[in-house]
Amino acid sequence: MRKINEIFYSLQGEGAHTGTPAVFVRFSGCNLKCSFCDTLHESGVEMTDEAIVKEVCKYPCRMVILTGGEPGLWIDDAFIGLLHKAGKYVAIETNGTQVLPEAIDWVTCSPKEGVKLHVKRIDEVKVVYTGQDVSPYLLIEAKEHFLQPCSCRNTEEVIAYIKAHPQWRLSLQTHKLINIR
C-alpha cells in the first residue's frame, strides 16, 4: 500500500518537460519540511499498486510524474515495473535523499541545502531559488540545471542571477502562471 495525496491529469509546468501532458501521482509525506512545499502531507489515501496504475491508465498520455512530498519514500522496483508494463514513461520529482529504483526514466532532483544526496542518476537539477548560494548544485552531474523562482515571487531576481551565471536555465511554474493544476 502506498499513501497517495492525489492523482490528476495536467501539463508538466516546470523544468525540461514543461508543456508535456502527464498524469501526476502525488505521494503524501516527506522527510524534509520545505517552507514553499505545496503538498498537504497529512492527507491522503492508501492505495494498492494495481489501483494506482488503473487510475493512471484512465488518461491518454504516456508520461507519469511521481511527485510529493517525497515519492522516494514510497516507491520500489515492482511499482515502476507495473507502470512500465502499462506502457508509461516514468519521471520522478525527488529531493534526492532516497535511493531510487534504477528503472525510472527521468529523474528531476530538487536538492536542499545541507542534505546529502543518495540518488545514483540525475537527469535534471531544479533548485527553487530563495537567494541561497546555488553554485554547489552546478557540481551535480546532470543533463540540465534549472533555477526556479519561489512561487513566482522573485522571478526578476532569478532572471538576473541566470544572466550573470549562464550555466543555469530558467524554470517557471507555468501551471501557476496559466492557472492550471
Instruction: Reply yes or no on whether 79 is catalytic.
Output: no
Catalytic residue among 36, 38, 46, 118: 38
Instruction: Reply yes or no on whether 34 is catalytic.
Output: yes
Catalytic residue among 14, 27, 39, 145: 39
- Dig out the grid coordinates for 22 from the structure: 502527464
Instruction: Reply yes or no on whether 141 is catalytic.
Output: no
Instruction: Reply yes or no on whether 130 is catalytic.
Output: no
Residue 132 vs residues 69, 108, 129, 147, 152: alpha-carbon distances, Å: 22, 20, 7, 11, 16
Catalytic residue among 14, 17, 27, 30: 30
| Distance between CA atoms of residues 62 and 40, nearest Å | 26
Catalytic residue among 41, 144, 150, 175: 175
Catalytic residue among 20, 37, 84, 144: 37
| Distance between CA atoms of residues 134 and 77, nearest Å | 32
Instruction: Reply yes or no on whether 93 is catalytic.
Output: yes
Catalytic residue among 70, 93, 123, 124: 93
Instruction: Reply yes or no on whether 24 is catalytic.
Output: yes
Instruction: Reply yes or no on whether 152 is catalytic.
Output: no
Taking Cα atoms as reference points, which of 19, 25, 91, 28 lies closest to residue 54? Answer: 25
Instruction: Reply yes or no on whether 37 is catalytic.
Output: yes
Place of cell 510529493: 68
Catalytic residue annotation: 24, 30, 34, 37-39, 93, 175
